[in-house]
Every structure is written in structure tokens, then in C-alpha cells.
Amino acid sequence: MMNKQVKMGILGLLLVIPSFLLLFLTVVIPIAVSFKESLTNKEGGMDLSNYKFLFTDKLMRSNIVFSLEVTVISVVIVLIVSYALAAYMRFNKGKLVKWIRNMYMIPMFIPSVIATYGLIQLLGNHGWVARWVLLFGGSGIPRLIFDMKGIIIANLWFNIPFTTMLLGSALAGIPDSVMESAKDVGAGKLRIFIRFIVPLTYKTLLVAVTFVFMGVIGSFTAPFLLGPNAPQMLGVSMEQIFGVFQEKEQASALAFFTFLLCSFMGYFYIRSMIKEEGARS
């Protein structure tokens, strides 16, 4: 007869198997197939020619650099704005705080295509902002979309609500007694923020960085509709290589390279979680 511990282990394994199979079919197998295709050259052999193309072709290099620039700038701005909003809602009260709480989640429920189209209508050369500027005697507005700025603005719209929600939950978990005790011993606001608030929200901050980075580096809708023709974000470039030029192997190499970039960010998050679990043990 099996004891209770063995039965619970088997039950736990049975509960995990469906999730593992789903992960294996939808993530592991496509990654493996993409990696194999990325190593296939035009003659049917196996080499690194497709990866060499990524880093030797001038246009592809500019696409990679452009994508990393957009991603890093977007992540930094999203974190600054989201942390400021979350901290303001956590440590303040009043009508403005209530208004922010009621409004900041709205962008999460607007489909990306509709939001992107709205940004075009708002910030385009003949959009609402330009019309109002001309109506009040202005000479027009500088280009805000169809270049790097347009993609970054869209990324802020898409990512600030979710990141604010994450950081707001982390800040809400900080006891008021921690700040009050720090104030009692003479700590100023900046010292409290650096020595107490940031360390206590570091884990959530790392989660936010990881999710925003992955979401931006692999985005397609906003870069396709709001970005320049060249250079392009990796998602748009991948679609062009695969759909227009029919270079499946090169598109697979670009897809696997994008996966490696996301894995690089995920590595720091996983390592941080392992260290935290080790410290607890």
C-alpha cells in the first residue's frame, strides 16, 4: 500500500503534467524548430550563415540597435512614471488620488490596434493636437509619430497601467510602521525611499522590468503602424523577412535571437528568485 506522501506526490505530478505538456507544445517545440531552421542554409546544410547575416548586414544591425534603443528608453520611462504614480497613490490621499485610481487602468482594456489608431488621429500631422495648435495661431507641431517617438509613446500607453498596478501592489504591502519608525529616528523622505521602499519593492520592480522588456522587444502592432520604414523593430523586421522576402531561415534566426534577448532578462529574474529562496532556506 502506498503511503499518504507518495499519493500526494503522484497527485501533484498529475496536476502538473497538463501545464507541462501545454508549455512543451506551445513554447519548447516552436523554439527548437526555429533554432533548427535558423541553422539551415540555402543549400540545405547546417551552418551559422543566417546569424552572420544578422550582424553583418547593415540594415539588420541598424534594426537590432534601433530595437534595443526603443526598448531601453521605454523601460526606463515606464518605470519612472509608474513608480511615481504608484508611490503617489500609496502615500497620498484626496480627490486627485481617487481620480488616478479610477482612470489609470483604462488603457489596459483598449485593444492595441484601436489605441494605435487613436494615437495616429491624436498626434498625426493632421491630428487633433495639430488642429488645435493651428486653431490657436500656432505653426504646427513637430513629428511625434512614424519614428522612434511614436513607438515609445505607444509603449508608455500600453505598459504604464500594468506596471503601476504591479508596483502599487508591492508598495501597498509595506507597513506604515516601517516609514513611521524611520521618521522617528530622523530619516528624511529620500533616505526612506532609498533604504526602505526600494529594497522592499525590488522583487516586483525586477518582475516589471522583465515583463516590459519582453513586451516591447517583441511588439509588432505599434511599431508597424507608428514606426519608421527604416530602421524597424525586430517584430516588424521579422514579418518583412518572412512574409515579403520569403526568407524563412533568416526569420527563424531573428526569432531565436529575440528569444535569447528575452531569456537574458529572464535569467536575472530567475537568479534573483533562486537567491531569495536560498536565503529563506
Domains plus CATH for the chain?
57-280 (1.10.3720.10)
Instruction: Read off the pLDDT of residues 26-68 as tens digits, 9 standing for 90 and up.
Output: 888 888 999 999 999 888 889 999 999 999 999 999 999 999 9
Instruction: Read off the pLDDT of residues 176-192 as tens digits, 9 standing for 90 and up.
Output: 887 788 777 777 778 88
Percentage of residues of the chain with pLDDT beyond 90:
40
Instruction: Read off the pLDDT of residues 114-135 as tens digits, 9 standing for 90 and up.
Output: 999 999 998 887 888 888 888 8
Q: How confident is the model at residue 233, as a pLDDT?
A: 94
Q: How confident is the model at residue 279, as a pLDDT?
A: 60
What phi and psi, each to the nearest 5 degrees, are found at residue 46? -120, 120
Q: How confident is the model at residue 265, as a pLDDT?
A: 84
Q: How confident is the model at residue 190, as a pLDDT?
A: 81
Instruction: Read off the pLDDT of residues 143-184 as tens digits, 9 standing for 90 and up.
Output: 888 889 999 999 999 999 999 999 999 998 888 887 788 777
Contacts of 195 (CB under 8 A, 6+ apart): 182, 187
Q: Which of 75-79, 162-166, 269-273 has the lowest mean pLDDT?
A: 269-273
| Nearest-angstrom CA–CA distance, 274 and 93 | 37
Dihedral angle computed from the Cα positions of residues 243, 245, 247 and 248, in that order, rounded to the nearest 10 degrees: 10
Using 50, 70 and 90 to split pLDDT, how confident is the model at 244?
confident
Using 50, 70 and 90 to split pLDDT, how confident is the model at 2?
low
Using 50, 70 and 90 to split pLDDT, how confident is the model at 281?
low
Instruction: Read off the pLDDT of residues 93-107 as tens digits, 9 standing for 90 and up.
Output: 888 888 988 888 888
| Nearest-angstrom CA–CA distance, 217 and 56 | 21
Q: How confident is the model at residue 263, as a pLDDT?
A: 87
